Amino acid sequence: MDGRPILIVGVGGLGVPAALTLAKRGAGRIALMDPDRVELSNLPRQVIFSAAHVGLPKAVAAREQLKRRFPGLEIDCLPWALGPDNADSVVRRFGFVIDATDSPAAKFLINDRCVALQKPFVYGGVLGFSGQAMTVVPGRSACLRCLFEEPPQAGEAASCRQAGIVGPVAAAVGIVQADEAIRWLHGEPPALEGRLLTLEAANVARTRVIDVRARPGCPCGAAQRAQMSEDHELCRQP
């Protein structure tokens, strides 16, 4: 079992169910990172928080609630934002990162720094009734830039925010993300390594998993590495 802690970036619709799942599944040490404070409007969707937590940093309030139910779980609190200035020093301390953020800029920052530092992470995204998750193992599988190339324009990102997220969809994605982290903890290959899970819950709930190929030219270099190992295999053929 890998003893290095798991970092959850974003303690909201994805991060709270992910943290609860990690705690239930026996993770020894996690860290919660979020600059936001609990607001009244969070309470219906993020059931871990109560009215008494309004005004507290989300990371601190979530730690208090989790410690009550899981006293053996070690929880570090990072009540500030992950940004270009601190991303490397933060990410370096952890073994696996859960992207539970709601901003495209943060998702691409996590992708780029995890790829640079060779840290596996699981991407999660929710928009209305649909959710997505994919695990990136740098050096082995496609990254977020293989999938999307560039973050959406500011206008597109704003319309995503307006579409909002549906709590149960976010919870399902957060649980899937925690499962990926648990697999990594146990030294098992992540189920969604280089595979994009899409969950559609608008009418009848549907899930789909597609393989994501590394994109030639992506700065992560996964496509070039795959090509090199293919060439190597060909050379070994008698």
d(CA 168, CA 201): 9
Name beta bridge partners: 128: 165
d(CA 60, CA 6): 17
Phi, psi of 85 (to 5 degrees): -75, -30
With a CB cutoff of 8 Å and minimum separation 6, the contacts of 206 are 199, 200
CB of 141 to Zn ion, least distance (A): 9
With a CB cutoff of 8 Å and minimum separation 6, the contacts of 153 are none
The site for Zn ion, by CB under 5 A, has a size of 5
Binding of residue 145 to Zn ion (CB under 5 A)? yes
Binding of residue 218 to Zn ion (CB under 5 A)? yes
Binding of residue 113 to Zn ion (CB under 5 A)? no
In the list 146, 165, 196, 197, the residue contacting Zn ion (rule: CB under 5 A) is: 146
Binding of residue 136 to Zn ion (CB under 5 A)? no
H or E element: which one contains 210?
A: strand 206-211
Binding of residue 173 to Zn ion (CB under 5 A)? no
Binding of residue 220 to Zn ion (CB under 5 A)? yes
CB of 214 to Zn ion, least distance (A): 6
In the list 30, 32, 143, 175, the residue contacting Zn ion (rule: CB under 5 A) is: 143
Site stretch for Zn ion (CB under 5 A), options 46-54, 168-176, 181-189, 213-221: 213-221
d(CA 204, CA 135): 25
Phi, psi of 78 (to 5 degrees): -125, 80
CB of 174 to Zn ion, least distance (A): 24
Cβ-based nearer residue to Zn ion, 26 or 217: 217
Cβ-based nearer residue to Zn ion, 119 or 145: 145
Q: Give the chain's end-to-end CA distance (angstroms, integer).
A: 39
Residues at the interface with Zn ion (CB under 5 A): 143, 145-146, 218, 220
